[in-house]
Structure 1
C-alpha cells in the first residue's frame, strides 16, 4: 500500500439524492486532507443537478436513460484517465459495471458485510467494518483507508443564485415544509397517509401560526398527495409539489423552520442546510438512515413494526433490515406527530433542548 499522498482521486456514488448528499462530508474532508488533489466524482445526472455547485470537484455524470452512444462516450472518458485512488462508494451492479472502466492504483470498496451485488469482486481493498453505523459514518469510514481520521461531518452545499431567488418568494414567516413522499419503488412502504398529513397542516397553522408548504416531485403519486392533503386540510397550504427543481427545494429548505417527511432524500437535504427534520419511521431504522443531526425529532415506530410484522427485535435482524408491510406506517399516529411538532416548537422558542431520544 502506497503512503504517497494521492493527487488524483475518483469517487463513485451515482444515487440516490439522500446518499449523494451524505457523500458531501467525505468530499470536503478529502479536500482538507489533500488540498492539491484533483477530485473527480462519478454521479447520476439528477443528483449532479443538486450538487453541481460544490467547489473544486470535477463531475462525470451518468444518465440512466442514456443510449449506447452516450454510454460509449462515458467509457472512453473513464478509460482515458488513471487515478491514484478510486473510492467505490456505491454497492450496486450498475455501479460495479461502471467501476470496471475506472483505472486506479487503489480501488477501495465497502467491507464484505456491506458490499452488496458482489462489489468485493470490483475492489482491491475494503474499508474497515462499520458495525451498526449510520450511513454517514459508514461513508466517512472510507477516509480511514487513506490515513485520514474522520472529523464531525459538515455539508456546506452552495446555493445557486436562481434557486435563492425562487425561494425568496416563500417562507416569509415561520414555515413547516412537508415533503410527504418517499421514492416510488417496489415494496417501498415509507409513505404516511395524506389524511394524517392534513391533520398536521391544521395543527401547524392553528396551534403554532406556521405557514405550511408542500414539496415533492412530479410523479402521479406525489401530485395526488398534494391534491389530497390540500383538499382535506381546513387551513391554507401552499402546494409546490411538482413545481420545484432540486436546487430550488434546497434553497427553500434553508428558509424553513422545520421539515416533516418520511425516510427520503429531502430529509438529508434539510440536514445538509441545517434545517431540523421530523422524520417518520416505521419501515426503516432511523439510526441508520435518519437525518443525521435530527435524531431527537424522529417519530419512531420501527421497533414496533419489526415486532408486529417480522416477529423480531432490532437486535435480531440485520442492520438496515426493512419492514415490507404496507400497514407499518399506520403505527405512527397523527397525535404522535402533533406532539413532536409541539415539542419542537417549544424547543425553538426556548432554545432549551429536550432530553435526547
Structure 2
C-alpha cells in the first residue's frame, strides 16, 4: 500500500474497480478526454467515459477525437457532450502538422479551463505532452517509461484489453466502472431500416471485410463462401465498408454470385451504418470498427481475430458474441515473431493475412447459432 500511494502522488484509495479507484478530484465541472484513432478506438473508450459521467454527474465531457468520432457521437446516444476534432499532430492524429493551427487549438482549449484532462490514447509518448498543453488542473492517463508523467499515471503494457485499460485510467480519476464494454443506442431519428419489398422477410446478416491492418483481414474468398452459405439458409446478406473497401466488397459479391448478397460499401454515412447494424440478426467482421459498433449497439456478432487482438479487443461475453481466433504467431512469409509489437520490435514488411486459416464453415455455424438465439428473443 505504501508503494501504491507513493506512485500515485499521495492519492488515497477509494475502492476497487478494474484496478484501484482513487479519490475523486474536487470541484470538477469540465472534463476533457483525449482519444484519437478510428471508430473502434472510440468505442473502446466509451465505458471509461461513462464511468467519468457517473462519477462527475454535473461535469461536461468534451472528447478530443477525429471526424469519424464526431459522426459516431452525432448518430448515437452516448456519455459524450461534445466532440472537438483534433488538429493534425504527430502521434496523436496523423497528418501534416500546421503550427499555427496547433497553437490556435491549444489556446482555445486552455481558455475552457478544464478541471480534469484524461488521456486514453496509447502509451503517452506523444499524447501526454499534448494533454499537458491543455492546461487542465488535473491530469490522468497511461504512461510508458519514456513518456512524460501526468498527475496520476497507469503503466501502459501493450497486451491489455483496451476497454479495461481505459477503465483503469478512469479509476485513477476516481470513477468506478458502470459497464465493462461500450453500450450505445441510436440517436433519436436513427431508426432500423425498413424492410425492402423483395426481401421476403429474410433476416439480415451484415458482413464487414475491412480492417486497418491488412493482416487482420479474412480473405474475400472466405467471406464469399460464408455469404453463399448464409444465403442458402434464407438470410439476406449485405457487405459494408468505407470507400476504400468498396473493391473487396464488390469482389465478395462477385464470388458469391447469389441474389440475396449485395454491397453497400461506400454508400452509408454513420447514421446509415448504425441504422443498418441495428436491423441485423448477426454481424460478421474482422477486428474492426463496424464489428465493435455492432457489439456496442447490442447486435450479435461473430468476430474473426488474430490471437493477440483477442487480448486487446475481443468481446468479453459469448452469449451474443462469438470469436474465431487464429493462433498464428509468425509471419507466413518471413517467419518473424508477430507477437512482438510497437516499440519492442519493428513490424515486418509483409501483409499476409494472419487469419486466413479460419474456416468459413466454423463461422457459418456461429452465425446460425446466434441467429437462432436472436430470433428467439422477444422483440428481437
Shared fold, TM over 0.5: yes
Cα distance between partner residues in 1 of 2:258 and 2:156 = 49
The CA deviation at 1:338 is 2.1
For the Cα contact (< 8 Å) 1:218–1:242, is it kept in 2?
yes
d(CA) in 1 for partners of 2:189, 2:99: 34
Does residue 174 (structure 1) correspond to residue 174 (structure 2)? The answer is no
Q: Closer, same or farther in 2 for the Cα pair 1:284/1:246, shift >3 Å?
A: farther
Residue 263 (structure 1) aligned with residue 297 (structure 2)? no
The structural deviation recorded for 1:230 is 1.1
Gapped regions of structure 1 (runs ≥ 5) = 352-357
Shift of 1:121: 0.7
Q: Do 1:282 and 1:331's aligned partners in 2 also have CA atoms closer than 8 Å?
A: no
Which of the pair is proportionally richer in helix? 1
Instruction: Please list the CA deviations of residues 330-353 of structure 1 after superposition, one character each: whole Å capped at 9, or x if unmatched.
Output: 2112222223223334444567xx
Instruction: Assess, with a 3 A threshold, how the Cα gap between structure 1 residues 21 and 131 changes in structure 2: closer, same or farther.
Output: closer
Rounded to whole Å, the distance in 2 between the matches of 1:71 and 1:3 is 28
Correspondence 1:70-149 to 2 at 5 A: 70-91=101-122, 95-96=127-128, 98-112=130-144, 118=146, 120-121=147-148, 123-127=150-154, 133-149=160-176
* CA-CA distance at 1:100 after TM superposition: 3.8
**Cα deviation, residue 13, structure 1:** 0.5
Take 2:82 and 2:351, find their aligned partners in 1: how far apart are those partners?
Answer: 41
Q: CA deviation at 1:252?
A: 1.3
2:274 matches 1:243: no
Q: CA RMSD in A?
A: 3.3
Residues 46 and 311 of structure 1: is their aligned pair in 2 closer, same or farther, counting only changes over 3 Å? closer
Could you tell me which residue of structure 1 aligns to residue 325 of structure 2?
Answer: 300
TM-score (norm. length: structure 2): 0.77
Cα distance between partner residues in 1 of 2:107 and 2:341:
39
Matched residue pairs, number?
A: 335
Match of 2:314 in 1: 290
Q: Which moved more, 1:198-207 or 1:60-69?
A: 60-69
Answer yes or no: is the 8 Å Cα contact 1:81–1:103 preserved in 2: no
Give a deviation string over 1:168-195, Cα, whole Å, max 9, x none.
Answer: 3668641100011112x5xx41112212
Does residue 201 of the first structure (1) align with residue 227 of the second (2)?
yes
Following the alignment from structure 1 to structure 2, what is the Cα–Cα distance between the partners of residues 244 and 327? 27
Q: Measure how far apart 1:33 and its partner are.
A: 1.7
Residues 35, 121 of structure 2: 8 Å contact kept? yes
Query: Of the candidates 55, 70, 77, which is equivalent to residue 33 of structure 1?
Result: 55
Structure 2 unaligned residues grouped into runs of 5+: 1-10, 12-23, 89-94
**Alpha-carbon separation, structure 2, partners of 1:348 and 1:260:** 14
d(CA) in 2 for partners of 1:155, 1:327: 28
Q: Verify the 8 A CA contact 2:47 2:178 in the aligned structure 1.
A: no
1:354 aligns with none
Matched with 2:14 is none
Q: Sort the Cα spacing of 1:61 and 1:349 in 2 relative to 1 into closer, same or farther, 3 A.
A: closer
Deviations 1:87-134 (A, max 9, x none): 11112665345324211222112143xx7xx4x315232126779531
Alpha-carbon contact 2:49-2:79 (below 8 Å) kept: no
Q: Once the 2 structures are TM-superposed, how far is the Cα of residue 146 of structure 1 from its aligned partner?
A: 2.4
Q: Is the 8 A contact 2:51 2:176 kept in 1?
A: no
What is aligned with 1:355? none
User: Shift of the alpha carbon at 1:261?
Assistant: 0.7
> In structure 1, which of residues 320, 330, 334 is the aligned counterpart of residue 360 of structure 2?
334
Partner of 2:19: none
1:21 correspondence with 2:52: no
